[in-house]
Amino acid sequence: MSTKITELTVDEFKQLIATTMEWKLSEMLGDPDEGLELREEIKDRLLRSLESERRGVKGIPAQEVAAQLGLEW
């Protein structure tokens, strides 16, 4: 059975548009890193960062990093 657009409620039509847009954007943009592997040193760095966060160690605030780089935050 095939449904016609004229048979949809406004909410069903909105959902159809939203789903279609999400699918198309995902298709167009995708994940540029898909299929790539992280280097071991990056994995280690991320794991250390996560562990530090779990222990309550704070990183550098974004405002401070921006100031160091001469950027406005």
Number of domain units in the chain: 1
**Residue 10 within a domain:** no
User: Residue 56: which domain range?
Assistant: 40-73
**Residue 24 within a domain:** no
Cα separation, 49 vs 65, in Å, equals: 17
**Residue 53 within a domain:** yes
**Residue 9 within a domain:** no
Give the chain's end-to-end CA distance (angstroms, integer).
55
**Residue 31 within a domain:** no
Query: 2: pLDDT confidence band, cut at 50, 70 and 90?
Result: confident
**Residue 27 within a domain:** no
pLDDT value of position 49:
92
23-45 per-position pLDDT tens digit: 999 889 988 888 899 999 999 99
pTM assigned to the model: 0.43
**Residue 44 within a domain:** yes
- On the question of pLDDT at 1 being above 70, the answer is no
**Residue 56 within a domain:** yes
51-69 per-position pLDDT tens digit: 999 999 988 899 999 999 9
